[in-house]
């Protein structure tokens, strides 16, 4: 299989393999940009769920870890990264309630994941600078977070949060945004919904 554009050599990435999943350069660059922009958040989530497993090795906490590992596995597979095997092993550890493997292997994977996404920055042109504020999209994101939390749709919840966290939000909601970020990370349903309601009220009343 071949493709009609060139990509710079990146250690640990097989662009031919990536082309199996992302058949156009536009799709590939979009996914690479998404990975770079969300890398810190994704690794923090995985480490946070690892910590939950360490504190309380329940089925629920193992499942949360498994879901996050699966999401990161899908990302690295789609770009042809050799991190797939490590991500898959972590997903299986979550599925099998293998607490010790989760404790032993999570940090190594997250370190490699962050190094990989850093190596992609010259390709994507991404920086840590936040995007401009779009009130309509921001309020839609808040609504999506509340609905996803109510349905306990973890994937949509995280995706919606990442979108609004990528914006340079007004000062009047920055404190509440910090509270919301923590509540989403800890999957505290009541706190997430209350925070979303407060943010909407602040935006509506301007105070």
Q: Which residue has 């940009």 as its token pair?
A: 33
| Tens digits of residue pLDDT in 40-69 | 899 999 999 999 999 999 999 999 999 999
The reply to whether 37 and 91 lie within a common domain is yes
Q: Which of 124, 155, 186 is the last residue of a domain?
A: 124
The reply to whether 20 and 118 lie within a common domain is yes
Mean pLDDT of the chain: 90
The reply to whether 40 and 141 lie within a common domain is no
Q: Is residue 22 part of a domain?
A: yes
| Tens digits of residue pLDDT in 63-113 | 999 999 999 999 999 999 999 999 999 999 999 999 999 999 999 999 999
Count of domains for the chain:
2
Could you give the CA distance from residue 49 to residue 62 in angstroms, rounded to a whole number? 8
Q: Is 129 helix (H, G, I), strand (E, B) or coil?
A: coil
The reply to whether 157 and 59 lie within a common domain is no
The reply to whether 89 and 117 lie within a common domain is yes
Q: Is residue 52 part of a domain?
A: yes
Closest CA to 169 of 199, 128, 194: 199
The reply to whether 118 and 140 lie within a common domain is no
Q: Which of 124, 155, 172 is the last residue of a domain?
A: 124
pLDDT value at 127 more than 60: no
Could you give the CA distance from residue 70 to residue 91 in angstroms, rounded to a whole number? 6
The reply to whether 170 and 116 lie within a common domain is no
Closest CA to 98 of 120, 65, 72, 129: 65
Q: Taking each helix axis as running N to C, give the angle between helix 154-165 and helix 59-78, from 0 to 180 degrees, rounded to the nearest 10.
A: 60
User: CA geometry: angle at 178 spanning 177 and 180, to 5°?
Assistant: 60
Q: Is residue 8 part of a domain?
A: no
Could you give the CA distance from residue 173 to residue 179 in angstroms, rounded to a whole number? 10
CATH number, domain containing residue 32: 1.20.120
pLDDT value at 25 more than 70: yes
Identify the domain containing residue 182 by its residue range: 135-205
- At CB < 8 A and 24+ separation, what contacts does 108-114 make? 109/46, 109/83, 110/43, 110/46, 110/47, 112/83, 112/86, 113/39, 113/42, 113/43, 113/72, 113/76, 113/83, 114/39, 114/40, 114/43
Q: pTM for the full model?
A: 0.65
Could you give the CA distance from residue 60 to residue 8 in angstroms, rounded to a whole number? 41
Band of residue 198 on the pLDDT scale cut at 50, 70, 90:
very high
Query: Using CA of residue 55, residue 38, residue 174, residue 150, what is the dihedral sign?
Result: negative
pLDDT confidence of residue 1: 45
Query: Using CA of residue 105, residue 117, residue 12, residue 72, what is the dihedral sign?
Result: positive
Q: Which of 73, 105, 124 is the last residue of a domain?
A: 124
Q: How many CB atoms lie within 10 A of CB 185?
A: 16
Closest CA to 122 of 10, 16, 4, 198: 10
The reply to whether 28 and 107 lie within a common domain is yes
Q: Is residue 171 part of a domain?
A: yes
The reply to whether 153 and 87 lie within a common domain is no
Q: Is residue 3 part of a domain?
A: no
């Amino acid at each position: 299989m071949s493709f009609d554009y060139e990509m710079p050599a990146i250690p640990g990435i097989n662009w031919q393999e990536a082309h199996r999943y992302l058949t156009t350069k536009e799709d590939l660059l979009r996914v690479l940009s998404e990975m770079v922009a969300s890398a810190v958040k994704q690794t923090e989530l995985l480490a946070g769920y690892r910590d939950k497993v360490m504190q309380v090795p329940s089925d629920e906490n193992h499942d949360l870890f498994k879901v996050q590992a699966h999401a990161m596995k899908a990302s690295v597979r789609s770009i042809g990264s050799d991190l797939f095997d490590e991500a898959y092993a972590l997903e299986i550890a979550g599925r099998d309630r293998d607490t010790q493997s989760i404790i032993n292997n999570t940090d190594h994977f997250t370190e490699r994941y962050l190094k990989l996404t850093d190596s992609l920055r010259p390709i994507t042109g991404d920086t840590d600078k936040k995007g401009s504020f779009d009130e309509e999209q921001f309020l839609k994101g808040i609504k999506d977070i509340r609905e996803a939390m109510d349905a306990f749709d973890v994937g949509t919840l995280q995706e919606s949060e990442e979108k609004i966290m990528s914006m340079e939000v007004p000062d009047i909601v920055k404190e509440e945004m910090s509270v919301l970020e923590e509540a989403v990370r800890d999957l505290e349903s009541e706190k997430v919904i209350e925070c979303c309601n407060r943010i909407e009220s602040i935006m509506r009343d301007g105070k």
